[in-house]
């Protein structure tokens, strides 16, 4: 069970956890134990409110497939339980980040004084370059 907020909880039956073999270096242990976790969460079949579903489906995240399934692979730790907790935490963070409303950006103009300083420095630099020319007698 994952608690997203006070009112929203994801039940365990909505999340499919599969133990798989981790990739990469590690020797004999990595080759014979299934310590990595493959998490699958179907957004459309979940009990999340429609607002959450729409925001998750609109994400342009590589972890969300076209079918609306979130796939997370956790293999950072050597212990399966830690990888399981990591995958569940990453799912929770993904859901919370999808629902965060970003502040609208307002375009601003540079101040008149900063424009004047910029032009003065350009003129100064141009004069320095003019002085680098050949000296005529």
Residue 99 has pLDDT above 90, yes or no: no
Place 98 in a pLDDT band, splitting at 50, 70 and 90: confident
Query: How confident is the model at residue 8, as a pLDDT?
Result: 86
Stretch 2-15: mean pLDDT:
87
Give me the domains of the chain, ranges plus CATH numbers.
Answer: 2-99 (3.30.160.20)
Contacts of 88 (CB under 8 A, 6+ apart): 2, 15, 39
Query: How confident is the model at residue 23, as a pLDDT?
Result: 80
Place 129 in a pLDDT band, splitting at 50, 70 and 90: very high
Helix or strand run (H / E) with residue 29: helix 28-32
Instruction: Encode pLDDT of 39-77 as tens digits.
Output: 999 999 988 889 989 988 988 888 999 988 999 999 988
Tell me the residue length of the chain.
Answer: 137
Residue 31 has pLDDT above 80, yes or no: no
**Please, which residues bridge with residue 72 across strands?**
39
Q: How far is CA 35 from CA 10, 41, 79, 87, 104, in A?
A: 24, 19, 6, 12, 43
Query: How confident is the model at residue 38, as a pLDDT?
Result: 94
Query: How confident is the model at residue 132, as a pLDDT?
Result: 92
């Amino acid at each position: 069970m994952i608690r997203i907020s006070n009112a929203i909880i994801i039940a365990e039956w909505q999340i499919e956890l599969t133990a798989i073999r981790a990739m990469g270096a590690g020797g004999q242990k990595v080759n014979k134990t299934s310590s990595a976790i493959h998490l699958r969460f179907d957004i459309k079949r979940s009990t999340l409110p429609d607002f959450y579903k729409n925001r998750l489906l609109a994400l342009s995240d590589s972890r969300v497939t076209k079918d609306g399934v979130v796939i997370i692979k956790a293999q950072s730790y050597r212990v399966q339980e830690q990888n399981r907790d990591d995958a569940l935490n990453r799912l929770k963070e993904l859901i919370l980040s999808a629902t965060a409303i970003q502040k609208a950006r307002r375009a601003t103009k540079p101040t008149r004084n900063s424009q004047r300083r910029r032009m003065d420095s350009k003129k100064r630099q141009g004069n320095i370059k003019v002085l680098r020319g050949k000296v005529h007698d």
